[in-house]
Amino acid sequence: MKIKEGWIRIFGLAMVWALMVSAGWAQERAQKIAELGSCPLESGKVVLDCQVGYRTFGAMNADGSNVVVMPSWLNGRSEDLIPYFGGKNTGHRLVDTSRFFGVAFDAFGDGVSSSPSNSKRQHGTEFPVFTMEDMARAQYRVLTEVLHVHHVHAAVGLSMGGEQVFAWAVLFPKFIDRAVPIVGTPQVTSFDLLSKQIVIDAIEADPEYMHGRYVTEPQLKLANAIGTLMVSAPQYRNAEVPRGRFAEWIKMVESPQRQDANDRVWQAKAIMHHDVLHGRTIDEVARGVPVKFLVIVAAEDRMVTPQPALEWAKAVGAETYISAGSCAHLIMNCDAEAVSLRVERFLAQ
């Protein structure tokens, strides 16, 4: 009887421990909000009641030298970045949380951090225009003021997240050691500007948008379809969606998205303003930044032109990887293993 009771007690303790570990893991990756008061912007305007969403993964080491940050992409949120953090590599992991302390950030305009949709005092069209550098500065404040981080091992980001990585490197070159922009750019090109302007025009021309003063969230069918058109190469889309399924698929593409319409416009405008060069050449800026880079681009990318990032890499002799996958900007859809391998190796050096 005593032996049986002993096993029951041990089993019970094991279950409690498992629940504690599970709860800790859930809390670790839970959505958190940093209240920053006011956030001054590059334009001279201010985000009032400034909030930045974030999630943490893993544990910071004693000297705080293992921090890796990852900002969110266009129309994305920190919750979308969860699969890229983990102690076990599933083929998509970018940050090994058994080794690094990961911080995923919600960018301005994603509906979690301060955005046109959730601001009470600057709601909707009253919300000020922001830039990638404004996002990076606010994220820096979260690290230094809230998490008490004094140095960052690396910044990793995809798409608009990669553009924030370039901003991080230029703004805080002594605060960050390594940078991994994935399908990002230091400066948007004319083609990039065109693609974003078309989406903005499609949203603003939609009768339901009502100049940003809508009461009911507009569906924005055309803008949704344009966005889907740009993110991959034709062969990828044709393989994913057989011709006979087009009618069914286009209904899904045109269906309402999670992101608020004004939030989408403000983030697209932030990309259109993106330029860490500020009148200087890529060579001049890149060579003045002591951060070590791994630059990853997609050869067929129609969302973000690869050339500026490759020119940056050439200027500093950075390691590069050019993905030939037909998923193009959706690089993690068909080339995740190759990207993950290179990023983890680079971070571990």
Q: What is the CATH number of the domain that holds 285?
A: 3.40.50.1820
Question: What is the DSSP annotation of 66-81?
Answer: -EEEEE--TT--GGGG
What pLDDT, on the 0 to 100 scale, is given for residue 88? 84
The whole-angstrom separation of Cα 204 and Cα 104 is 31
Q: Are residues 176 and 288 in the same domain?
A: yes
Q: Are residues 157 and 274 in the same domain?
A: yes
What pLDDT, on the 0 to 100 scale, is given for residue 90? 81
Tell me the CA distances in angstroms from 174 to 62, 291, 322, one per residue in order. 20, 8, 28
What pLDDT, on the 0 to 100 scale, is given for residue 304? 98
Q: Are residues 38 and 172 in the same domain?
A: yes
Q: Are residues 150 and 25 in the same domain?
A: no
219 located within any domain: no
235 located within any domain: no
181 located within any domain: yes
238 located within any domain: no
SS3 of 319, please?
strand
152 located within any domain: yes
Tell me the CA distances in angstroms from 37 to 47, 51, 170, 255, one per residue in order. 9, 8, 25, 36
325 located within any domain: yes
55-77 burial: b if 16+ Cβ within 10 Å, else e: bbbbebeeebebbbbbbbbbbbb
Q: Are residues 9 and 71 in the same domain?
A: no
The whole-angstrom separation of Cα 336 and Cα 342 is 10
185 located within any domain: yes
Tens place of pLDDT per residue across the chain (349 aa): 443 444 334 334 333 333 333 444 456 789 999 999 999 999 999 999 999 999 999 999 999 999 999 999 999 999 999 999 998 888 899 999 999 999 999 999 999 999 999 999 999 999 999 999 999 999 999 999 999 999 999 999 999 999 999 999 999 999 999 999 999 999 999 999 999 999 999 999 999 999 999 999 999 999 999 999 999 999 999 999 999 999 999 999 999 999 999 999 999 999 999 999 999 999 999 999 999 999 999 999 999 999 999 999 999 999 999 999 999 999 999 999 999 999 999 999 8
What pTM does this model have? 0.91
Q: Which letter does DSSP use for residue 146 in this model?
A: I
What pLDDT, on the 0 to 100 scale, is given for residue 26? 57
The whole-angstrom separation of Cα 258 and Cα 275 is 28
Q: Are residues 60 and 17 in the same domain?
A: no
Q: Are residues 8 and 42 in the same domain?
A: no
Question: Which domain, by its residues, includes 13?
Answer: 1-30
Q: Are residues 26 and 91 in the same domain?
A: no
List the one residue out of 131, 115, 107 whose CA is nearest residue 42.
131
Q: Are residues 146 and 61 in the same domain?
A: yes
Q: Are residues 2 and 130 in the same domain?
A: no
Query: Where does residue 53 fall: left (phi above 0), alpha (psi -120 to 50 degrees), or beta otherwise?
Result: beta
225 located within any domain: no
Q: Are residues 26 and 78 in the same domain?
A: no
What pLDDT, on the 0 to 100 scale, is given for residue 128? 98
Q: Are residues 77 and 178 in the same domain?
A: yes
Total domains, the chain:
2
